[in-house]
Structure 1
Amino acid sequence: MSFELKLAWTYFWGQRKSLARFTSFVAVAGITAGVASLILAQALARGFADEMQDKILANTPHVSIFMKDGTKINGWRQIKKDLEDTENVAKVSATTYENTLIVGTQATNYAILRVVESPQSKGRSSKFKVQSENTASDKQSTADDRQLTTEIALGAELAEKTGLKTGDEAEIVTLADQFEPKRSRVFVKETFRTGLFEYDSTWINISPENYSALHGGQAFSPAILSVSVKNIFKADKIADRIRAKLGENFKVIDWQEANQPLFAALSLEKRVGLAIFALIIFIAALNITTTLALLVNERKFDIAILRTCG
C-alpha cells in the first residue's frame, strides 16, 4: 500500500475526541431527518392535492358552458351534437341547477336541485366514485305510490338533516314560472355520498324526465352544458376552442379556472412547506460546518507536520 493511502486509511479510522464524534453524529442525523421530512412533506402535499382534484372532478364538469346573461340555452341539442365532434371531447351532458327547499320528516332544509342526464353523478376518475347508500326505510312505499311521485337521489348529509331515508316520500318547494312557490311530492330513490360535505349537504340529483314531470310536463331546457374531456390537463385548450366555436354570447370555464382559489392555496401551502424543510436542511448543513471546524482544530498539529513534509 502506498504511503498516501496508508496515511488516509489511518486517519479515516483514527479515534476522535468525544465532542467531534458527537457533532458528527448530530450533523448526519440532522441531514437524514431533513431529507426524510422533505420527502414526506412532498408526498403529503401531492397526495392531498391529487385527492382534492379527484373528488372535485368526480362531481363537477371538466368544462362548463352557459349563457352570459344566465338564461336557458336554446337549441342545446344541436350545440351538444357539435361539441361532441370537437377533438378530445369525450362526452357532453345537459345540466341545470335550481334552488329549492326540501321538507323531510324531521326538518326543512335548503337544497340545490341538480338536473343531470343521469340521475346519479358518475365519478369521472378511476380513483374516486360516488357511493350510493340505499338505507332501508322504516316504511316501504308501494309501486302505485311511486308512480305518483318524482324520483330523486339525495345527498347523504342532507338526508340525515331532514330525517329522510331511501323509500321515504318528501316534499320539495320550487318556483313556478310566475315565481310562485310550488310544492311537489317526491320519492327518495337513493342517497349518495361524494366525499365533499358541500355537495352531500345540499345536492338533490334528478333526471330530466323527472324534472319535466315536476314542472307539469314542461320540456327540459338546460342552463349549463357539462363537457368531459379525454385529458383533464388539456381542458383549458379545449375550452379555448369551444369558446371560439360558440361565440361571445357563451361563457366557457374549465375546471382549473373554476377552482383556481383552492389550487392556488394548495400550491402556496406546498411552497411554504418546502421553505420550512429547506431551513431544516440548512441548519443541518451548519452542523456539518461546525464538525469540520472541530476536526481541523483537532488535527492542526498533524496538518502542520504534513505541510512540513511538503
Structure 2
Amino acid sequence: MKLPYEWQIGWRYTRAGKRTTGNGFISFIALVSMSGIALGVAALIVVLSVMNGFQEQVRDRMLSVLAHIEIFSPTGSMPDWQRTAFEARRNPAVIGAAPYVDAQALLTRQDAVSGVALRGVEPSLEPQVSDIDKDMKAGRLTDLQPGTFNIVLGADLAANLGVSAGDKITLVAPEGSLTPAGMLPRLKQFTVSGVFESGHYEYDSTLALINIHDAEVLFRVTAPTGVRLRLKDMQQAPRVARELSHTLSGDLYIRDWTQQNKTWFSAVKIEKRMMFVILTLIIAVAAFNLVSSLVMTVTNKQADIAILRTLGAQPGSIMKIFFIQGITIGFIGTASGVALGCLIAWSIPWLVPMIEHLFGVQFLPPSVYFINELPSELVASDVIRIGIIAFIMSAVATLYPSWRGAKVRPAEALRYE
C-alpha cells in the first residue's frame, strides 16, 4: 500500500543523509534529541522500578514480623481473647489469629545492654500470623514452651549482645518489685533457644520472643494484650478492619498495618511522586532539543517547502510533514528508552551485586535502609504511563516547528535560490 506523500517525505527527512554540512548537523541534533528522550524514559523507568521494589521489599519484610491487623483492649488486657479470635475468623478474609503480649524490657549479658520490644507468643498459633518460624537461623519457635523461659532473638540483636543459641541472658523488667530495701528491678534469666532473621534491620535488632505464659508471669498480667490477625490479601487490611469494627463484640481497638507504618509509607509515596516529576523534566529538556532540531530542519528545507507549495501542497500538508518527522523521532526515542529501562530494571537484582563485588562498595547499608540489597519491581502500568507521557511531550514539541513550516511563503523562500 502506497503511503501519502506527507508520510514519505516526513520519514525521509528523519533519516536525512550527510550530503551537506547542514543536513549532517541537523541529523546530529535529531539524534541527540532522540537519545535524550530515550535516556530520560529509561532513567524514569529504572528509578520508579527501584522505588517500587524498595517499597515492596520493606513492606513484605515488615509484615513477615508484624500482623496484618491487631485487635487489643483499651485496658491492656483481653481475658476473652478466644471469643474475639473466633469472631474475627468468621470474616472470610481472615486466615489466621493468635494472641500476644507486648512489653518493653532490657536484655543484658556481661557489659552488653540492649532495649528490646518483647513479645509473648503462643508457638503453636504464631505461624498463622507471622513468618518468624520460617526465618529461624537457629533453633525452632516451638522451643518456647511454658515454664522453660526460653527466648528467641533477632539476628542483629543476638550479635549486639554477643550470644547464640544455648547462651544465658538476663532480662530486666521495667516494673520493679517492692522490697524492704525499696523498689528493686525484677530480673529473670533466660536461655537463648533460637535466632531469627527477617531481613528487616529494625526488627532483627530490637525484637525478642518468649512464650506467652512466661510473659504473663514475668509482667504480672492475667491475659494477653490482644489478638493478631493475618489476611488472605494484605492490601485489604483497611477494609477488613472497618468490617471487624462492626462485627466484633466488646470495646476494642483495631489497628491495621497501614496505620502502624503510615508515616513511612506516606513518605515513600510522596518521594515517588516527586521523583516522577523531577525525572519527567529530563524528558521535557529532550523535547526542547526536538523543537530546536525541527526548527533548523524547517529553515534548511525552505526551498523544498516552497517547491511543494507551488506544486499544490496545502499548508496543512506541510505541517503534517514536519509533525510526522517529529513524532517519528519521539516514538523511536520513547521505544528505545522503554526497552533500555526495562532491560536495566530487570537486570538490577544481579547487576548491582556484581558492581558491589567488583568495586567493594555497598549501596544499601541495612542499618540505614532496612534492607541489604537493591530491589527492583517493574510495574507495567508505570512503564505504559511513562511511555505515553514521553510520546505526548514529543508530539507537543513538534507543533510550533510544524506550524512555522506551514507559514513559509514560496516567493520569499525561492527569491535567492
Q: 1:161/1:120 Cα in 2 relative to 1: closer, same or farther (>3 Å)?
A: farther
Q: 1:183/1:292 Cα in 2 relative to 1: closer, same or farther (>3 Å)?
A: same
> Which structure carries more strand by proportion?
1
Q: 1:208 aligns with which of 195, 207, 212?
A: 212
1:77 aligned onto 2:82? yes
**Number of the residue aligned with 1:107:** 112
Q: RMSD in angstroms over aligned alpha carbons?
A: 3.2
Alignment of 1:36-75 (within 5 A): 36-68=42-74, 70-75=75-80
> Is contact 1:106-1:161 (8 Å) kept?
no
Letter in 2 for 1:205: L
Unaligned runs of 5+ residues in structure 2 are: 140-144, 313-417
Q: Aligned equivalents of 2:244 and 2:184: distance in 1?
A: 37
Q: Secondary structure at the match of 1:95?
A: strand
> Which structure carries more helix by proportion?
2
Letter in 2 for 1:134: A
> Sequence identity, in percent?
27
Q: Aligned equivalents of 1:227 and 1:121: distance in 2?
A: 10
Q: Aligned equivalents of 1:21 and 1:163: distance in 2?
A: 66
Letter in 2 for 1:66: F
Letter in 1 for 2:228: S
**Number of the residue aligned with 2:97:** 92
Q: Secondary structure at the match of 1:99?
A: strand
> Is contact 1:30-1:281 (8 Å) kept?
yes
**Number of the residue aligned with 1:21:** 27
> Is contact 1:58-1:129 (8 Å) kept?
no
Q: Secondary structure at the match of 2:95?
A: strand
Cα distance per residue 1:34-57 (max 9 Å; x no partner)? 111121122111111111110111
Q: Aligned equivalents of 1:114 and 1:4: distance in 2?
A: 76
TM-score normalized with structure 1 length: 0.84
> Is contact 2:147-2:214 (8 Å) kept?
no
> Is contact 1:169-1:188 (8 Å) kept?
yes
Q: Secondary structure at the match of 2:64?
A: helix
TM-score normalized with structure 2 length: 0.64
Q: Aligned equivalents of 2:125 and 2:87: distance in 1?
A: 25
> Is contact 1:59-1:121 (8 Å) kept?
no
Q: 1:222 aligns with which of 196, 213, 224?
A: 224
How far apart are residue 222 of structure 1 and its match?
1.0
After TM superposition, the structure 1 stretch with the greater mean CA deviation from structure 2, 146-155 or 2-11, is 2-11
Q: 1:120/1:187 Cα in 2 relative to 1: closer, same or farther (>3 Å)?
A: farther
Number of residue-to-residue matches in the alignment? 296
1:278 aligned onto 2:284? no
**Number of the residue aligned with 1:259:** 261
Q: Aligned equivalents of 1:3 and 1:148: distance in 2?
A: 87
Cα distance per residue 1:111-148 (max 9 Å; x no partner)? 2221112289659689x98532339xxxxxxxxxx998
